[in-house]
Homo-oligomer: A and B are copies of this chain.
Amino acid sequence: MAVQIKHKIWLEQDNAMLMGKGHVLLLKAIQKMGSLSGAAKEVGISYRKAWKLIDHLNSTAPSAVVELTTGGSGGGGTTVTGYGNELIGFFEEAEKESRLVLEKQLSKNETLWK
């Protein structure tokens, strides 16, 4: 099988993880499900971990990324803010740009793998 080039990107603030792909997947699942618990199930991680991811991101980022409400009809829920949406867009575009440039490098050096 051919050699593949993989990559991973993430954002840091004060040398601490701020947001990675896991956060993005979770945020998109929140948009779809309307709750953090539902999103955790959707993505396939424990609620415990999902809550930690979101809590740290939300309390560290320059602006609120999600809004969490407890109680009420349906028990509460979680929604992604406009700022959160901007973050998702930025992350996905950066990842795409990186992927494109890496695939170009790979195809430029095809002879290395055979």
Contact = CB atoms under 8 A, between A and B. Distances in A.
Interface of A: 1-14, 18, 62, 86-87, 90, 93-94, 97-98, 101-102, 104-106, 109, 112-114
Given A6-B11, A90-B112, A94-B102, 17 more contacts: A1-B13, A3-B12, A3-B62, A4-B13, A5-B9, A6-B10, A7-B9, A7-B10, A8-B8, A8-B9, A9-B102, A62-B113, A97-B102, A97-B104, A98-B98, A98-B101, A101-B101
Given A90-B109, A94-B102, A105-B94, A13 B5 contact: no
Contact of A62 (B7, B109, B114): B114
A90 B113 contact: no
